[in-house]
Amino acid sequence: MSNSQVKFYSGESIPLELHKTRIVQKLHLVPIERRLQALYEGGFNTFQLNTKDVFLDMLTDSGTNAMSDNQLSAMMQADDAYAGSQSFFRLQKAVEDVLGKKYFLPVHQGRAAESIISITFVKKGDVIPMNYHFTTAMAHITQNGGRIEELLCDDALQIKSDNPFKGNMDIDKLVACIEKNGKENIPFIRMEASTNLIGGQPFSIANLMDVRRVADKYGIMLVLDASLIGENAYLVKQREREWQENSMADILKTMTNLADLVYFSSRKLSSSRGGGLCTNRKDLYLKMEALVPLFEGFLTYGGMSVREIEAMAVGLYETLDETVTGQSPEFIKYAVGELDKLGIPVVMPAGVLGVHIDAKQICAHVPQTEYQAGALTAAFFLISGIRGMERGSVSNQRDENGNETWADMELLRLAVPRRVFTLSQIKYVIDRMLWLCDNREMIGGLKFIYEPPVLRFFMGKLEPVSDWPERLMAKFRKDFGDSL
């Protein structure tokens, strides 16, 4: 059963919540004047906001998915031990049952797995072909002297497309990349499930099989970033004809079986904290094992609390339940459909993780050098109290010569964490986005006033290039009176 299978007599097409809420958290919608002040305090960077000023927190799905009653109760029976905890063995079994891998290394979150993989396998001058980069994955590869090549199909970066698998790797480009760089300079190929930065777009199993065939032909290892694999599996079941009759469990294992090494962030995958690396190849496991006690903690906790480990184990099994894993994609599909009807440019087909709004079109009058996506993200928070995340040039890193690299896509991402928001909250998002688009020409640009050298989007501070935020606020007051 999935959230979209219940038909409405009225003919309306809305996703129905197949869960009930038993613990709630009060939210605060502060006046727009306070939100403007908060933006200045946080350098127009939504990472720098305090949640006391945020109404709907759509920054990320990372560690913000709702936990289930079963996860919370499992946390109570956690076994506190530095070494040999029962909680760890339950998690190890869950990893083997759900992801089909025997050897498991726990880490405190996904990027720690990326660090361990990069330290172990990447050397100076290496090239890592991938469908598309993720910020932390790329940062660790470049820190270790490697570089990346992104091999998406040509239409993957089009905002509106009917390609159901925009996360697919272009196989011809992969072969050309290997021939050009030499297989000895390619330690692994990286495939990312539900390609995060291009709008949460899945790959198909057929494509992953093709990548595997190329990897085998050249004797190159295949690494799978499985942080968003549950949703990728859900969309495979919906969109890839050959797999519609298969269970989530089958689809998931089929994908992980194709990779030599699988890593994940549990902050996404299993509604908890932590992360892990798993493989059926003992040689790979042994190469990485020593780095876990060095950086993370002993092999049976890897920097996580035992309570987190219990929640992660239960969450992994719950990933196989379509009403759990499908809830967020179904809400996203609803929001994307409604926004598109209103003429608001949004990444299509609907992906996972969140709604991705095209700032390049909405802020076409703002030069890319003034960070269109950053500007839209700040403007949207100002007029709604909704915190989204910039996924554009602010999230890019400078090249080796210190020059700006301009992002392929300038997106405002509004994350829809699993089973957190209600449909009326989603309707508020749509309403405020419509108002902002009707007043789009009032949005102006941003410039950096503090730019750290690594992962600048986390700590960087910006300011508006003019008094556009004040003018936008005045227009809001004119149209909405004293409404919040």
Ligand X SMILES: *Cc1c(COP(=O)(O)O)cnc(C)c1O
Chosen residue from 196, 204, 256, 300 binding ligand X by CB under 6 A:
196
Q: How far is the CB of 336 from ligand X (least distance, A)?
A: 19
Question: Considering beta carbons, is residue 141 or 228 the nearer one to ligand X?
Answer: 228
DSSP 8-class letter at 395: G
Torsion of the alpha carbons at 327, 329, 330 and 334, rounded to the nearest 10: 140
Would you say the C-alpha torsion 474, 475, 477, 483 has a positive or negative sign?
A: negative
Catalytic-residue membership of 333: no
Strands (DSSP E) found in 339-383: 354-358
Q: Which is nearer to ligand X, 57 or 225 (CB)?
A: 225
Task: Give CA angle at 201 (373, 164), nearest 5°.
Answer: 125
**Other CB atoms within 10 A of residue 1 CB:** 10
Contact letters for ligand X, residues 367-396 (x by CB under 6 A): ------------------------------
Helix segments in 81-149, DSSP class H:
86-99, 110-121, 135-143
Q: How far is CA 422 from CA 19, 271, 321, 419, in A?
A: 11, 18, 20, 8
Instruction: Assess whether 134 carries a catalytic annotation.
Output: yes
Q: Given the rule CB under 6 A, which of 92-100, 224-232, 420-428, 464-472 is the region that contacts ligand X?
A: 224-232
The minimum distance between CB 134 and ligand X, in angstroms, equals 4
Q: How many residues does the chain have?
A: 484
Select which of 391, 413, 432, 456 is catalytic.
391
Among 15, 42, 43, 110, binds ligand X (CB under 6 A): 110
Q: Which is nearer to ligand X, 18 or 304 (CB)?
A: 304
Q: What is the nearest approach in angstroms of ligand X to the Cβ of residue 100?
A: 20
- Kindly state the number of chain residues that form the binding site for ligand X, as judged by CB under 6 A: 16
- Select which of 225, 260, 360, 428 is catalytic: 225
State which residue has the least CB distance to ligand X. Answer: 110
Strand partners, 438: none
The rounded distance, in Å, linking the Cα atoms of 106 and 297 is 9
35, 140, 253, 268: which one binds ligand X (CB under 6 A): 268
250 catalytic residue (yes or no)? no
User: Which residue, 225 or 390, is less far from ligand X as judged by CB?
Assistant: 225
Residue nearer to ligand X on the CB measure, 90 or 391: 391
CB of 450 to ligand X, least distance (A): 23
Contacts of 380 (CB under 8 A, 6+ apart): 386, 388, 412, 432, 433, 436
Least gap, CB of 299 to ligand X (angstroms): 19
Strands, E assignment, 140-285 = 147-150, 188-192, 221-225, 261-265, 275-279
Piece in contact with ligand X (CB under 6 A), picked from 50-58, 75-83, 104-112, 328-336: 104-112
**Least distance to ligand X, CB of residue 89, Å:** 23
- Please select the residue that binds ligand X; options are 275, 326, 351, 354, rule is CB under 6 A: 275
- Report the candidate in 455, 53, 104, 107 with the shortest Cα–Cα distance to residue 275: 107
Residues 227-266 that bind ligand X (CB under 6 A): 227-228, 265
Question: In Å, what is the CA distance from 111 to each residue of 115, 138, 150, 240, 417?
Answer: 6, 10, 19, 30, 20
β-partners of residue 348 are 160
Minimal CA–CA distance to 346: which of 331, 356, 360? 356
User: Contact between 136 and ligand X (CB under 6 A)?
Assistant: yes
Cα–Cα distance, 71 to 91 (Å, whole number): 12
Angle, helices 205-218 vs 248-257, to 10°: value is 20
Pattern of binders to ligand X over 73-92, x per CB under 6 A?
--------------------
The catalytic position among 334, 448, 457, 476 is 457
Site string for ligand X, 146-185 (x = CB under 6 A): ----------------------------------------
Q: Which of 253, 268, 360, 418 is catalytic?
A: 268
Q: Is 268 a catalytic residue?
A: yes
135 is catalytic: yes
Q: Which is nearer to ligand X, 236 or 473 (CB)?
A: 236
Q: Which residues are catalytic?
A: 82, 134-135, 225, 268, 391, 457
Which residues in this chain contact ligand X in the complex, by CB under 6 A? 62, 109-111, 134, 136-137, 192, 196, 225, 227-228, 265, 267-268, 275
